[in-house]
Structure 1
Amino acid sequence: MPKNGFTTTIIHSDRRSNDEYGAIHVPMHTSVEYAFSDSRELAAVFQGKPGFTYARQGTPTTAALEAKLTQMEEGAGTVTFATGMAALTATFFSLLKMGDHLICSQHIFGNTNSLLGTLAGLGVDISFVDATDAANVRNAWRPQTRMVFTETLANPGTQVADLQGIGDFCGEKNLVYVIDGTLTSPILFKGRNVGASLVVNALSKHVGGHGNALGGAVTDTGLYDWADYPNIAEPYRKGKSTSWGLTQIKKKGLRDMGGTLSSDAAHRHATGAETLALRMHRICDNALSLADHLSALPKVAKVYYPGLDSHAQHERATSLFGGRYGGLMGIELAGDIDVFEFLNRLQVLVLATHLGDNRTLVLPVAHTIYYEMGPERRAQMGISDNLLRVSVGIEDIEDLIEDFNQALAHS
């Protein structure tokens, strides 16, 4: 069969898996336990043969979604989790030990920053660097360094990491390179193209897209050989060494930590993924038009969006993301505007804390998702009290522009 395009492949993924009765969607398998007619077969699955024993470690429905995600990332395998944070937790806690060193972008999601604080409390040394320049990653390296982590697109400042430069360095030092691709999704960027070892996606964002299910995933690109990685436990050093890391993440993250994705949520993400390309293209087009419009208004002090020529990493984003720039932007209102009064005047945009939805969502950054960091850390990150985070949706662009116009007119 000839290789199909992205959307064709995903739409027909379930049908081509020879599901029972010719179903075009893998059904929701809700059974917790799975019976065997042969005790030897039961033992074989426990010892590593593909199969299902207990729903905490996956179901046929989650497996079908994992196959889709592997296709989307052009990877070697995927494990799904209950949330994106569960996916990150499983990755860090499964692969790092006390005394290890992690190099991390300083421009990361607030909850991820909190998670890394917990990890540091358990003895993992973490260096936060400006990942927009790979030289900063290189300068932070030490013999104990095991992993480098960054996001493709920072939230909410929209900084674009030097993904290729970091990948080249990780290849030189044989470091595990973990990329959170949530804000770009596999339709704009694939981590394997810059040498990533693992790619994390919060499925509740663009992949699912409809704001109706939580979920996360870790995809192994197949590029990293885990044979020389010191933290792989002996029971998982079986079969091809390129699969050992994902096996350990699955065993620790699902069996031990219990961060399991439900079959219901997996089914929702699998069907949502079918329209990812269509939704993402519309979102990107809307976001660029909105950013262009807002950047010309006197009551808007600054627009942070990689699609603008004024963005510090505009050329890099164009090269990495194929001329589309995602749906996230930061909008800093003029200092004399009451940010809360402005937000309360909006009629189309939704005041909500989420990203990658069909609807356009907005919130005040300093007062919500970055409140716990305190004013000093926010100042270091360039987060002012009048900074808004906007996750652009698929509405008619004229309605989004008019909603901003009318709210600003009374501010």
Structure 2
Amino acid sequence: MTLGLTTRLLHADHFKGVEHGAAHEPTHTAVAFGYDAAADLVAVFQGQRGGHVYGRQGSPTLGALERKITLLEDGTGTVSFSSGMAAISAVLLSLLRSGDHVVSSQFLFGNSNSLMQTLDGLGCPVTLVDATDAAAVAAAIRPETRLVFTETIANPRTQVADLAGIGRACAERGVLFVVDNTMTTPYLFHPSTVGAGLSVNSLTKSISGHGNALGGAVTDTGRFDWAKFPNILDAYKKGPAAGWGLLQVRKKGLRDMGGTLSGENAHRIATGAETLALRMDRACDNALRLATWLKGQPGVSKVHYPGLEDHPQHVRAKLLFRQFGALMSFELDDRRDLFVFLDALKVVIKSSHLGDNRTLAIPVAHTIFFEMGRARRESMGIAESLIRLSIGIEDYADLQADFAGALAAAA
């Protein structure tokens, strides 16, 4: 019998077997793990058998979550981290050496953009390009390029990267392709389908969904040949080459850097993930309806959402993704006061978070992209009146009424 995604997620722990017949893996808080025989402890340390040695490198609770993320991504393995940024940092700092070159989308989430600047300062130069154009990415690849990084849907202007084209360019050059899948989630898109070797998710966002746990994950899709990657250390060339990259990310990112996810947060994320498909269906439906409605409202000058037919990458998004996502943004015209509008919202929460069950709004230029300065914002197409929305699962009529009231108040 072939089971659907939600059924497999709900019963993943049950099918594997949990102590005392529990329906899901409990929260393990142990830091130390002991073995009756010293030889068994040595075997686990040396990677000759499965098991846990120290809470910083994993636990049964983290392992249960990682299996679910691997299932969601249709990958070969996953490492979990304390946040999405910890996951991205682990990939970059574990797999790159001084002198390596990175090609990255110029339309990056603010913190990821800041991390790229840090990486550049550590001796790994970063070239920022328009990731909606695979030719621009291919032109930026050098002999010393080790990695190409992009998001699926850019935050906040919703540009959709040419993922398939970039994947082909990376495959031709033997370059690792890393995709941040947070804005689409593994329910809407599998980076493996475009040749990405690693998929990164901020588990804090839609996969958890409830705004009550920080977490991140790196999943190996099985599409990259790690035997050809020059930066794998001899210590991690254990067993088949397919596992080398993720092993190095785990050892460096968790053992050395300590970006470990807590058991309590792992448990919350794992239970939240069980309803990902149901929540994303509702949120994406709300987003498309709201974007379509906002587009026709007086006082709204532009709406940015891949589900709209006039979006520059609408056709691409339709081909790549199951649905168009729950992220959107729009610009008020000069006749509406941005802050009066936001303060008039009663249901929508003013917050910097994303991927919550509740709809969230934030003035982009004044907050998450403020440090970049006006010139950089303009280069990214971020208007001073841009409002980012993360659409939740509320009753749609309530959302529309809330926005209608705010538009009227700001007139």
Q: TM-score range by the shorter chain?
A: over 0.9
Tell me the equivalent position of 2:200. Answer: 200
Give the letter for the 1:130 counterpart.
Answer: D
- Residue-by-residue CA offset, 1:302-325 (whole Å, 9 max, x unaligned): 000000001000000001002x10
Are 1:44 and 2:43 matched, yes or no? yes
Tell me the equivalent position of 1:357. Answer: 356
Q: CA deviation at 1:293?
A: 0.3
Contact 2:283 2:326 in 1 (8 A): yes
Q: CA deviation at 1:97?
A: 1.0
Q: How does 1:218-367 map to 2 (within 5 A)?
A: 218-322=218-322, 324-367=323-366
- Residue-by-residue CA offset, 1:198-225 (whole Å, 9 max, x unaligned): 0000001010000000000000001111
Q: CA deviation at 1:4?
A: 1.2
Q: How does 1:175-194 map to 2 (within 5 A)?
A: 175-194=175-194
Tell me the equivalent position of 1:387. Answer: 386
Give the letter for the 2:119 counterpart.
Answer: L
Give the letter for the 2:263 counterpart.
Answer: S
Distance 1:41 1:228 in 2: 32
2:230 aligned counterpart, secondary structure: coil
- Residue-by-residue CA offset, 1:66-119 (whole Å, 9 max, x unaligned): 001101100000000000000000000001111111010111100000011111
Q: CA deviation at 1:141?
A: 1.2
Q: CA deviation at 1:8?
A: 0.8
Contact 1:148 1:175 in 2 (8 A): yes
Tell me the equivalent position of 2:14. Answer: 15
Q: CA deviation at 1:174?
A: 1.1
Distance 2:74 2:208 in 1: 18
Contact 2:105 2:150 in 1 (8 A): yes
TM-score, normalised to structure 2, is: 0.99
Contact 2:176 2:197 in 1 (8 A): yes
Distance 2:187 2:324 in 1: 11
Tell me the equivalent position of 2:132. Answer: 132
Distance 1:199 1:410 in 2: 43
- Structure 1: gaps of 5 or more residues: none
Give the letter for the 1:332 counterpart.
Answer: E
Q: CA deviation at 1:365?
A: 0.1
Contact 1:105 1:150 in 2 (8 A): yes
Distance 1:360 1:153 in 2: 18
- Residue-by-residue CA offset, 1:130-173 (whole Å, 9 max, x unaligned): 01010001111110111110000000000000000111111111
2:12 aligned counterpart, secondary structure: coil
Contact 2:203 2:215 in 1 (8 A): yes
1:348 aligned counterpart, secondary structure: coil
Contact 2:340 2:409 in 1 (8 A): no
Give the letter for the 1:121 counterpart.
Answer: G
Distance 1:228 1:288 in 2: 43
Q: CA deviation at 1:31?
A: 0.6
Distance 1:142 1:205 in 2: 34
**Residue identity (%):** 57
Are 1:77 and 2:77 matched, yes or no? yes
Tell me the equivalent position of 2:91. Answer: 91
4+ aligned runs moved over 6 Å, structure 1: none
RMSD over aligned CA atoms reads: 0.7
Give the letter for the 2:188 counterpart.
Answer: L
- Residue-by-residue CA offset, 1:261-298 (whole Å, 9 max, x unaligned): 01100000110001000000000000000000000012
1:303 aligned counterpart, secondary structure: strand
Give the letter for the 1:383 counterpart.
Answer: I
- Structure 2: gaps of 5 or more residues: none
What is the aligned length?
A: 409
Give the letter for the 2:337 counterpart.
Answer: D
Distance 2:393 2:228 in 1: 46
Contact 1:132 1:159 in 2 (8 A): yes
Distance 1:231 1:50 in 2: 25
Tell me the equivalent position of 1:26. Answer: 25
Distance 1:276 1:166 in 2: 28
Q: CA deviation at 1:334?
A: 0.6
Contact 1:171 1:195 in 2 (8 A): yes
Q: CA deviation at 1:50?
A: 1.5
Q: How does 1:100-119 map to 2 (within 5 A)?
A: 100-119=100-119
2:67 aligned counterpart, secondary structure: helix
TM-score, normalised to structure 1, is: 0.99
Contact 1:223 1:242 in 2 (8 A): no
1:14 aligned counterpart, secondary structure: helix
Q: CA deviation at 1:336?
A: 2.9
Q: CA deviation at 1:238?
A: 1.1
